[in-house]
């Protein structure tokens, strides 16, 4: 089989011929049909991601495919079942072996490409907004980076939860994508004053921030009393420094969300969130989809789209 292997942090990953893997005890083997790309893949290539596997390894964190074989002790999901799995690695290949208890059976309405675009982006936003921030219907949610892979899902999930959503993104094209996802108000990060416009709209009860940097600072200053600020990532490259005295005066809460971490300390919370989202998808409350697709041979083009922040929504590799 073919797999995109990283053998050194000093050279780019390469597509290589590899032996067909055999599932270990408790695992399933998938014939992989699609794999979602994430900013974390870029960090893994550099060796700077907090969960970078030991070299060499196959890139690709989240996959969708068909169960092809069982390891010892596994009888479900049955062979031939369409599933999505978060494996953390091993997805950019024609076959992969993953823990059976992470496999989620897909509704018939969800394509492999949509399922590969689903877990991290929608899972991050749902866990952040529902579990961490406890977003309530009628509250105002400010989403920074609102046209990115996770940002668009935060807009969509925020609307599904009954919030008023302010979407902040760069340029008319990305703002249109946020509007189509359900945003009530739009802020152009290139030309508009985030703080002033958000305060003119009454301020934010919850801030969803995968960007950091100056945008975090502007959003921080536009919060209502008792607002909750979710730090999701730092796409700007700048980690904000938070003035604790301002937290005190305005009764603010800043909270982090590392979605993958829940697999180690609260896996039931994560899998329960994903099952809720799959139910929402089956019912048409959310509409996961791949916004950019590339074949396995062109994976590096997809990663470059992420690196240069030119993507709108989710980038998926089809296999």
Of 22-31, 44-53, 147-156, 279-288, which one has max mean pLDDT?
22-31
For residue 79, give both structure tokens. Answer: 């062979």
Average pLDDT value over all residues in the chain: 95
**How far is residue 217's CA from residue 226's CA, in Å, rounded to a whole number?**
17
CATH of region 120-259, choose from 3.40.50.300, 3.40.50.720, 3.40.50.620, 3.90.180.10: 3.90.180.10
Place of tokens 């902040």: 168
pLDDT digits (tens, 9 = 90+) for 67-84: 999 999 999 999 999 999
Residue 65: per-residue pLDDT: 98
Helix, strand, coil in percent for the chain, rounding step 5: 35, 25, 40
Mean pLDDT, range 158-165, rounded to an integer = 97
pLDDT digits (tens, 9 = 90+) for 90-114: 999 999 999 999 999 999 999 999 9
Residue 149: per-residue pLDDT: 85
156 phi and psi angles, rounded to 5 deg? -65, -45
Binned at pLDDT 50, 70 and 90, residue 133 comes out as: very high
Residue 95: per-residue pLDDT: 98
Query: Quick check: bond before 56 cis, omega within 30?
Result: yes
The two beta strands, 204-209 and 223-231, are parallel
Tell me the percentage of the chain whose pLDDT exceeds 70: 100
pLDDT digits (tens, 9 = 90+) for 247-302: 999 999 999 999 989 989 999 999 999 999 999 999 989 989 899 999 999 999 99
pLDDT at 237 over 90: no
Q: Radius of gyration of the chain from Cα atoms?
A: 20
pLDDT digits (tens, 9 = 90+) for 175-223: 999 999 999 999 999 999 999 999 999 999 999 999 999 999 999 999 9
Determine which of 171-180, 223-232, 308-317 has the lowest per-residue pLDDT on average. 308-317
CA proximity to 278, closest of 119, 101, 61, 78: 119
Residue 272: per-residue pLDDT: 93
- Sketch the domain layout of the chain as residue ranges: 2-118+288-318, 120-259
Helix axes 39-46, 299-307, angle to 10 degrees: 100
Question: Which contacts (CB < 8 Å, 24+ apart) does range 151-154 have?
Answer: 151/178, 151/208, 151/210, 152/121, 152/177, 152/178, 152/181, 152/291, 152/312, 152/313, 152/314, 153/121, 153/122, 153/124, 153/125, 153/126, 153/286, 154/125, 154/128, 154/129, 154/208
CATH of region 2-118+288-318, choose from 3.90.180.10, 1.20.140.10, 1.10.10.10, 3.30.2290.10: 3.90.180.10
pLDDT at 134 over 90: yes
């Amino acid at each position: 089989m073919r797999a995109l292997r990283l053998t050194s942090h000093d050279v780019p990953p390469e597509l290589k011929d590899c032996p067909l893997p055999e599932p270990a005890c408790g695992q399933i083997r998938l014939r992989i049909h699609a794999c979602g790309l994430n900013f974390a893949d870029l960090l893994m290539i550099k060796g700077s991601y907090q969960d970078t596997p030991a070299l060499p390894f196959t890139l690709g964190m989240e996959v969708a495919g068909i169960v092809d074989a069982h390891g010892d002790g596994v009888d479900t999901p049955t062979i031939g079942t369409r599933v999505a799995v978060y494996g953390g690695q091993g997805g950019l290949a024609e076959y992969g072996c993953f823990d059976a208890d992470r496999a989620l059976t897909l509704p018939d309405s969800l394509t492999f490409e949509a399922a590969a675009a689903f877990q991290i982006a929608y899972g991050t936003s749902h866990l952040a907004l529902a579990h961490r921030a406890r977003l309530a219907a009628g509250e105002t949610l400010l989403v920074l980076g609102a046209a990115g892979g996770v940002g668009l899902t935060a807009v969509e999930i925020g609307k599904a939860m009954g919030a008023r959503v302010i979407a902040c993104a760069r340029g008319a094209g990305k703002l249109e994508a946020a509007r189509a996802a359900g945003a009530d108000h739009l802020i152009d990060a290139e030309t508009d004053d985030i703080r002033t416009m958000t305060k003119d709209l009454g301020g934010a009860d919850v801030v969803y921030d995968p960007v950091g940097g100056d945008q975090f600072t502007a959003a921080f200053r536009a919060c209502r009393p008792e607002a909750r600020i979710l730090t999701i990532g730092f796409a700007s490259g700048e980690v904000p420094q938070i003035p604790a005295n301002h937290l005190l005066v305005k009764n603010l809460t800043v909270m982090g969300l590392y979605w993958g971490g829940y697999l180690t300390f609260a896996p039931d919370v994560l899998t329960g969130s994903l099952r809720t989202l799959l139910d929402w998808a089956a019912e048409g409350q959310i509409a996961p989809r791949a916004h950019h697709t590339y074949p396995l041979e062109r994976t590096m083009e997809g990663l470059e789209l992420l690196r240069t922040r030119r993507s709108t929504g989710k980038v998926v590799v089809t296999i």
